Chains A and B, each alone.
Chain A
Amino acid sequence: MRYDVVVIGGGLAGLTSAALLAKGGRRVIVLERRDTLGGLHSTEEIAPGIRGEAVQHDIGWIPASVMEALALDEAQLSLVRPAASATSLLRGGRTLTLWSDPARTARELASHSEKDARAWGAFGERVTRLAGFLQAIYEAPAPEPLASGAREVLAMLGLGRRVRSLGRDGIVDLLRTLPMSVADLLDETFETPALKGLVATSGVSRLSQGPQSGATAFVLLHHHVGAPAGAIRSRAIARGGLGVLASALAERARSAGAEIRTNAAVSRIAVTEDGVRSVVLANGDELETTLVLSTLDPRHTLYDLIDPIYIDPELSEAVRTVRYRGACAKVHLVLDGLPPLGTELLEGALVVAPDMAYLERAYDAAKYGDISERPYLEARIPTVHDASLATAGRHVMSVLVQWVPHRLRAGAWDASRREAVGDLVVATLGELFPGFASRIVAGAVLSPADIEERYGATEGSLTHGELTLDQVLFMRPVPGLSRHATPIPGLYLAGPGTHPGTSIASASLAVKAIGAVRRARSGDRAATGV
């Protein structure tokens, strides 16, 4: 069977790419190893009759251009932005909520600190402004500071102009903020420990760094790309689970003519010096193609699917040194009732990060390969939005636990350690919600090792490689590959492991890169008259 493009991986990046490529008239097939689509963003059965978010909790950023190109709209995707973005669960039943309406947040803050209440609006605007700048970079191919040629120079000038549009203070603020620790950033701005703890989570989420680590302010900005103006930690979720989005993308891909094959593990990409020749499946099937777009993480693609003699030792070394370091475990809890918080708060994220020192200590453990004794938790209850995810009277709580290192100081991940993580979560929530344990009727735990094994994410990294200043833009996934093409003709990379570090945006850029190359090639032919 011959395809124009074989897309490896049926997660959001793979499905988006397939839909865009098929719409462009290419004969496309998507190969997914598992039996469900969506990868880390799928919604799966976690107990009989009960479905929950497989790993990720929210959708992240969908560039408007993709929404438009695929004729998607938020309503159709059942996207909702809860009024309560995130609520910090504090001792003694207290809470602090960040609302998607900054004014409401400021009102809530006023009871903690007048100063913080006054500073809130400006902080939101500042984050919006700086994240907006990142967004502009993220919508274009990665800047290549060393590239030459008129087009590159123009692109860099364009970037320079965009930087200047921030204004003098904006530029200085951007350059000063990017390398800062989120702790320093927040200490400069606020005084309420609970507020700083809650906001700091954006700087360390899914990352093996603590709030005092350098450049975590960049991570906070990254997580606010595409977020509504002035809102902190406001993320869209899908009613009915994130799987809704994967289904919608799959439907777009299929209706444009793409084929999607599940239970189709790829064993290798056959290449010659001329480039990609075919994709060989684990079952022995061979799909002929000269174009492969892999959305697996870059190490997985380049190390496991390609004959090593086609990866030169310097590239191989660069791939080896990409840091993944999964930092989270996933805990699913089936409850027979809701925590006593009120529906409005339960619609948003529930966070255990009472202050920055708590986060810092939680991170300390991971540095030495230990699991945090008092972990940072991010919980969501999708059944609040769509009761049909569970059987009557049941709720699903989805918890991301941090820090749970992929590489333990001693020994490997096993059942007892996995259980211990579950117990830790129950105990942590139990301290905040008395009687919580008795509400649990079922549960499941995915360690970082489980996430790696089940979802193919190297070292259990939910971002396919840490999102840190040294691993973004022209450094992502490795220098020289940031424009999605690889040294192997016809092999392209997409997924969060590539620029700009989010699934859907990376897919859109990778598809453009494929298109750009084809145009350039046919241009060559026209020019030489061949």
Chain B
Amino acid sequence: MKNGKVDAIVIGAGHNGLVCAAYLARAGKKVLVLERRHLVGGAAVTEEIVPGFKFSEFSYVVSLLRPEIIRELDLPAHGLQILPLESTVTPMPNGNYLAAWADHDETRRELYRHSPLDADAYDEFGLLMHHMAHAVKPIIGMMPPDPASLSPRELMSLGKLGGHMRSLGARKFYALHKLMTMSSADYLDEWFETDVLKATKAASGIIGTFMGPRSPGSAYVLLHHYMGEIDGAFRAWGFQKGGTGGVSEAIAGAARRFGAEIRLEAPVGRVLVNNGRSVGVALENGDEYRADIVVSGLDPKRTFLKLVEERELPSDFVASIRRFKTRGSSGKVNLALSELPRLTCMEPENIARWGGVPIPPQRYLRGAISVSPTMDYVERAYDDAKHGSFSRRPYMDVVIPSMIDPGMAPPGQHVMSIFCQYAPFAIDGGWDDAKREAFGDAVVDALAAFAPNIRRAIIGRQVLTPADIERITGLTEGNIFQGELALDQLFFLRPAPGYAKYRTPVDGFYQCGSGTHPGGGIMGASGRLAALTILGERP
């Protein structure tokens, strides 16, 4: 044996892998984390792409990080500091705009300007979403029961779930059913009449998915926005100070503090299996590490189709993993800016023209700019993608982290993070440099339509297509959720029926990435539940 034996090896230092490692180490296990890259975080990293400009290269906002993880790992002591993201401004094609602010009265006043009825509906909608998020929360924190099993334990777990559903009462139960089965466009149509409001809300429902806002199944993601808010003390959406990599660093710090070792630039080539049991891993350079427990934080396709010999896995399981949908749909453009963008619609005279309330740029630029001017705009962006090209006019979620955390850029200069959709991984003919730059140009053009000075302000640009995301982070097809968050891939079906509880067909080999329940976003729940499973604890 070339290296000493540890209790557990975690493959990949993404945030879920780190959470899992931290919990295992906290329970007294000797843990080794092996990371391919030179830094921890996976898709939650901060990198200085342009000298002096720090970018949250991929994942850029923190919203759903589980409060119990923050508490149990004492992440603030290791540097977690979330700064609030306050507002969203959506420029409209006619020169008008829609803004949503942190303050209720301010938001109501703005909505009222667009539709008095929607101003009323907005409060009721928010309250219902609060109820829904409250209803879903225990499901996110639970091990998914197997509905097909007849074991008493599974039946009890199912019964508990049923009891929970019934306890919601009729109105909330039906509302939840609608949220799970409807399209976000249809769901929002039931509530609102203001197109730009619906478009902006619906856009948040398609992030990372390969669905358009009019496809059933997209409404559920609307809930995510409200999920963070029910935990009271924690801000819903925000930036990690110093960039998203800081979240990973904080978790890594906690893991190390509990005694875990994290080894960088140590790419795992395969999982060593002996008699149906994992016994360790081999790095790409041939080095072997032994452990009774091996946990993969990589996505299910990479985990089972690349790291494990096919003969070690049942064929129907391999078939399930093969058909697990991982269509990447999002890209990212990171800009270094010499000056702040100026939104034409937020110029004082334009605000006055539309009867809005004057707001200084320092205020609205601390929030997001949503390029989702109409529902049709977002839907057409999807049409491009489903027919094999990137969106000529993409939906974009634009934020300027340096407005909130000046340390992200040299004084007076700024970093801008543009999340864009759709950029399908499976673009006709495949991605190449020319297409990447064309996509970057499309993004800048779409933004320049509302902020003309943006072109002049750009002093550095990084365009990330799903192919780039796959290349850099290893996420299959660049899917930011390690697998689509569609109803047929959630809960006990994530990633494959019978294997939704972090176990795998190989004894001693576990999975902990967001390709497992509940998955998606910087939530950490998968990593925590996986660790608890390994430790034999109930969550």
Contacts and interface: CB of A to CB of B under 8 A. Distances in A.
- Is any CB of A less than 8 Å from a CB of B in the complex? yes
A168 B148 CA distance: 5
Given A179-B181, A214-B216, A145 B488 contact: no
A263 to B, nearest CB: 37
Contact of A175 (B147, B169, B177, B189): B147
Contacts of B233: none
B488 A479 contact: no
A488 to B, nearest CB: 19
Nearest to A472: B181
Nearest to A318: B174
A452 interface: no
A261 B39 CA distance: 80
Interface string A170-185: 0110011111110010
A188 to B, nearest CB: 5
Contacts of B381: none
Given A188-B323, A360-B386, A368-B376, A209 B173 contact: no
Given A145-B166, A479-B174, A180 B215 contact: no
B497 A364 contact: no
Contacts of B229: none
Contact of B150 (A164, A357, A367): A164
B173 A145 contact: yes
For A164, A178, A181, A480, which residue has the most chain B Cβ atoms within 10 angstroms?
Answer: A181
Interface string B169-188: 11001100110011100100
A470 interface: yes
A470 B181 contact: yes
A212 interface: yes
B387 A361 contact: yes
Nearest to A183: B386
B317 to A, nearest CB: 12
Main secondary structure of the interface of A (DSSP, over half): helix
Interface in B465-503: 486-488, 492-493, 497-498
Interface residues on B, range: 35 or more
A175 B500 CA distance: 14
Interface in B382-401: 383, 386-387
B387 A214 contact: no
A357 B488 contact: no
A323 interface: yes
A470 B166 CA distance: 18
A181 B216 CA distance: 9
A83 to B, nearest CB: 33
A179 B487 contact: yes
Contacts of A480: 170
A309 interface: no
Contact of A172 (B148, B150, B170, B190): B148
Nearest to B175: A479
B386 A212 contact: yes
A368 B380 CA distance: 9
Nearest to A478: B174
Contacts of A111: none
B487 A214 contact: yes
Contacts of A168: 148-149
Given A145-B166, A214-B211, A469 B181 contact: yes
B325 interface: yes
Given A164-B150, A214-B218, A357-B387, A179 B486 contact: yes
B448 interface: no
A485 to B, nearest CB: 15
Contacts of A367: 214, 376, 379
Contacts of B148: 164, 167-169, 171-172
Contacts of B190: 321
A180 B488 contact: yes
A215 B216 contact: yes
A231 B379 CA distance: 35
A470 B177 contact: yes
A73 to B, nearest CB: 38
Interface string A466-478: 0011100011000
A470 B182 contact: yes
Contact of A213 (B150, B214, B497): B214
Nearest to B211: A214
Nearest to A360: B386
Interface string B186-227: 100110000000000000000000010011111000000000
A469 B147 contact: no
Contact of B181 (A175, A215, A216, A357): A215
Interface in A162-221: 164, 167-169, 171-172, 175-181, 184, 188, 209, 212-216
Interface string A303-324: 0000000000000000001010
A368 to B, nearest CB: 6
Most buried by A among B149, B178, B218, B488: B488
Given A145-B166, A357-B387, 11 more contacts: A168-B148, A172-B498, A175-B147, A178-B488, A179-B181, A181-B215, A209-B215, A360-B387, A468-B182, A468-B216, A479-B174
11 contacts: A146-B165, A172-B148, A184-B488, A367-B214, A367-B376, A368-B379, A468-B182, A469-B216, A474-B174, A475-B174, A479-B170
Closest 3 CB pairs of A and B: A214-B217, A179-B487, A214-B216
